[in-house]
Structure 1
Amino acid sequence: MWRNTQNGWGLVSIALHWLSALAIIGLFALGWWMTGLDYYSSWYHTAPWWHRGIGMLVLLATLLRLVWRFFQPHPEAHGSALERHAASFGHVAIYLLLLAVLISGYLISTADGKGISVLDWFTVPAVINGLPEQATRAGVVHWYSAVALMVLSAGHALAALKHHLVDRQDTLARMVNPRLSRRD
């Protein structure tokens, strides 16, 4: 139930997928909202603190997810050869954009040489800082890769719904129910 099989995703993969999805959507909404805050807002310092802390947790979860994915079998994909290739390309693009968003966020937050407090649990050190226009350049990458990630994620969700509702395949059900992976 914890591990993936050739037929379905295990509980670890399912939990990492859905927790990441919720966190990423929440971080995008929070990031967009906080760009409109003025200096006198009570959220001016609090919102970025939450955004950075949760972002670093998502980065750690993403690295864990990539390691887990590398060592686990993948369920067989449904659809035509073109759909399977598109899905494979889409997953790689989602991971690359996710890493771009998270690493650029790290570079924005550590440009001044200070580490990132992760919800006051621990601090991620500023390993890279002092690059020319680090915060500005990383900010551009952060914004555009976040928007691209949201667009690609919406396409990912629509494809899953298409497989479920139109094609009547268990693609979406396997990402919700780990018991489906036991049919081997």
Structure 2
Amino acid sequence: MQITNTVNSYGWVSIALHWLVALTVFSLFGLGLYMVDLSYYDPLYRTLPDWHRSAGLILGAVVVGRLLWRWWSPVPRAHGAHSRLERISARLAHTLFYLLIFTMIASGYLISTAKGQGVSIFGWIELPSLTGRVDGQEDVAGLIHYWCAWVLVALAGLHAAGALKHHFLDKDDTLLRMMRPKQER
């Protein structure tokens, strides 16, 4: 069982982290869209935002772990058939993914702590407010959070479209490399 990445293939840890982050990002996006329309009297009015915050902060820890994993087990080299533009675009997209995710987490934290209260992660641990009470912080952080969410999901859509293009049009193994490790010979 190939745990780490090789020169030509992603290992199971990288593959699992990729899909875990993708699933969590899309789930949080859907949850965020759903919960903004909840009324004060809805039974989920308090529960869903708590889940959203908690999952978002845990996602931050997972993404830090993913970055550490990338440092310890570097990504495979680019596919030989990819053009220079495709390789640069892929690097840029991955950098933007990380920047957007961390901006989302920071802005979500600032929304949640705008009144000076801490943020609970599923009741296990509470992160204190680092800014205290700041007037207007929730509104500015909310706009940043909102627009970064849409850009992140749009970028993920482009990323998926690129993977599908490689799979169906170019007929290379770009998509398959993130589905299962390649057996090295």
Please give the TM-score of this superposition, normalised by the length of structure 1.
0.94
String of CA shifts for 1:58-106, please: whole Å, max 9, x gaps.
Answer: 0110111112112222112221111111111111111111111111101
Select the structure with the greater relative contact order (CA < 8 A; seq sep ≥ 6): 1
Q: CA deviation at 1:17?
A: 0.8
* Aligned counterpart, 1:6: 7
Equivalent pair of 2:116/2:134 in contact (CA under 8 Å): no
Q: 1:114 aligns with which of 98, 114, 117?
A: 117
Q: 1:89 aligns with which of 73, 87, 92?
A: 92
* Aligned counterpart, 1:43: 44
* 1:1-184 equivalences in 2 (<5 Å): 1-78=2-79, 79-178=82-181, 180=182, 182-183=183-184
**Alpha-carbon distance in 2 for matches of 1:119, 1:55:** 11
Count, aligned residues: 182
Structure 2 gaps, min length 5 = none
**Alpha-carbon distance in 2 for matches of 1:149, 1:37:** 23
**Tell me, what secondary structure is at the counterpart of 1:176?**
coil
What amino acid is aligned across from residue 37 of structure 2 in structure 1?
G
**Tell me, what secondary structure is at the counterpart of 1:169?**
coil
String of CA shifts for 1:27-57, please: whole Å, max 9, x gaps.
Answer: 0011011111111111110110110111111
Percent identical among aligned pairs is 44
**Alpha-carbon distance in 2 for matches of 1:171, 1:131:** 46
Structure 1 gaps, min length 5 = none
**Alpha-carbon distance in 2 for matches of 1:9, 1:132:** 46
Please give the TM-score of this superposition, normalised by the length of structure 2.
0.93
**Alpha-carbon distance in 2 for matches of 1:107, 1:161:** 36
**Alpha-carbon distance in 2 for matches of 1:87, 1:166:** 17
My pick for the range that moved more, 116-125 or 29-38, is 116-125
Cα RMSD, aligned residues only: 1.3
Q: CA deviation at 1:128?
A: 3.2
